[in-house]
Chains A and B, each alone.
Chain A
Amino acid sequence: MKVPVRKQPSWFQVLLILPGVAALVVTFLFPLLWLARTSIQPTTGHTLSLHAYARLFEDSFYWWVIGRTIFIGLLCVVITVPMAFPVALFLARSQSRWRGTLTALAIAPLLTSTVIRTYGWMVILGRHGLINTTLVWAGILAQPTRLDNGPFATVVALVEILLPYGIISILSHLSRLDTELEQAASLLGARRLQVFWRVLLPLSVPGLMTASLLVFVLAISSLVTPQLMGGGRVFVLATEIFNQTTIALDWPFAGALSITLLGFFGIFVALYQRILQRVESQS
């Protein structure tokens, strides 16, 4: 049975999407345009200029910040997604009656604010934190070593914070996969590992892609974690934007940084679309 495709949306359909569209315009599109305008409007004088962008791209420090931001984002993807995959796989295929509870537990960290979870990591990694105290107590270290305040601590905390996002996006893809495909593979003689490599993994690619994009975007736009865990030594685009708006009060420059970050989002989303299209045209 085919439902006829309606070319013209009815007034009722328009009415239904209107609140959503209005909310997006007010809370998203309008501020975005405002931001773009800020980035090309110097505070002194009234003429528009690309001065902020020129400064950004001329200063090698900002190239370094951009590079570091992307590097941290990719690092988070490379660590988080492979960690999320087995968990999602277990949750999707488990026959246990605890499955529902375990799934809820896996995504429960999302209920707590990022700030609190970051502080949690400070407690664990700190100079007098859990790990240092234990290592010193066990006699493995003579002195507490520095684990927090740096890129290492930032990535550790980000991975933990982003893991639930990775798990749910992979899980939602896996639960849509037909388990009969895996059963068919087994019956055709494939052992567990062969089923995984030849059937499960290739079919999971779209789910892994979505998880990667989500983790990447959340990682490069995160502010609190690099700020708190970096101890002022981890410079990423988000912290730089924060500093420019609150400390240096250079709003056009902060605007230019924001638009640049947005540009990277765009590039990665486009890249994701291209890869996904290729993957899907294959399956």
Chain B
Amino acid sequence: MPAPDGDGSAGEGGAQDLSQESIEGHVAAALRAVGAAGDLDELKQARLAHAGDRSPLALANRAIGGLPGSEKAAAGKLVGQARGKVNQALAARQVELEAERDERILVDEAMDLTVAPGRRPLGRRHVLTVTAERMADAMVGMGWEIAEGPQVEAEWFNFDALNFDKDHPARQMQDTFFVDPAKAGLVLRTHTSPVQARSLIERGVPLYVAVPGKTFRTDELDATHTPVFHQLEGLAIDEGLTMAHLKGTLDRLAEGMFGPGIVSRLRPAYFPFTEPSAEMDFRCFVCRGVATDPACRTCGGTGWIEWGGCGMVNQNVLRACGVDPDRYQGFAFGMGVERTAMFRHGIADMREMIEGDVRFNAQFGMEI
């Protein structure tokens, strides 16, 4: 620890030299000590030695009282200025050393965070639920509402209300899970279409509803089939709705799911609950149907990708739901959520979506 410099130091009891040389010598010694302080501890020692109660300048200050009155003023001014100079230097050095210390702490505290993924990784939503929500949102954007219905459904709602005659081959082709006993009249819904009937009966017309939901068929699980899958159903019943409105709605939904300019195409088909009926394809979003790529792996070079079924709601369905088919008409469509997600994300194997492997989810963000 450096001792106060200079030869002007003296014990409290000693006589004080209040000469200008002596005072300036104290100041010079103090400034040297302040300048030499390398850290805040050393500065603290310098402060004690040169500005503390027992420092030469403090003692000199105290000695002023013992001077004759005529000398007091001059000595007071001399010592006061000297102390001021020393305090100023101390304060300035304090700021410097604190800044140095703060900087050093930051350096010392530095951490290598290049491997620090966080203690708790974020979870994820499932791609199918998010896809279904995205589809539903596209419909809500068109002014539609979202309806829901039960998975274990009355046979009447699943089939008869939708004009599936009990002897019609189409009813047998649905590969239905039946609830035991058969007389219970219940099935696992084979499509989201029973919610059409429920909505019509419960809400009446005009009606614009979309129905996302889980559906069931007795298919064994493989790369392209699953006994439990998801559909999005759309139903619009109003005055004056046509197949052109159906196509417009599908085009808008296709754009919502696959990007601007992706439109739909209708092909004749058959479903008991629509007449006329159509299969809908959407324009391949990879090759966009440009003939330059006959080898497009997404669409097989056809330029179109199958999406689902649709059509004008069969008058028998309207009758079964208490709607006057001479006044109201409209359209319905349904497509697979799995298929939509598979095409959007290049999922080749259906099983990856249903196994619940957390590594599958981790590939997606919370919004897809």
A binds B: no
B contacts, CB < 8 Å to A: none
A contacts, CB < 8 Å to B: none
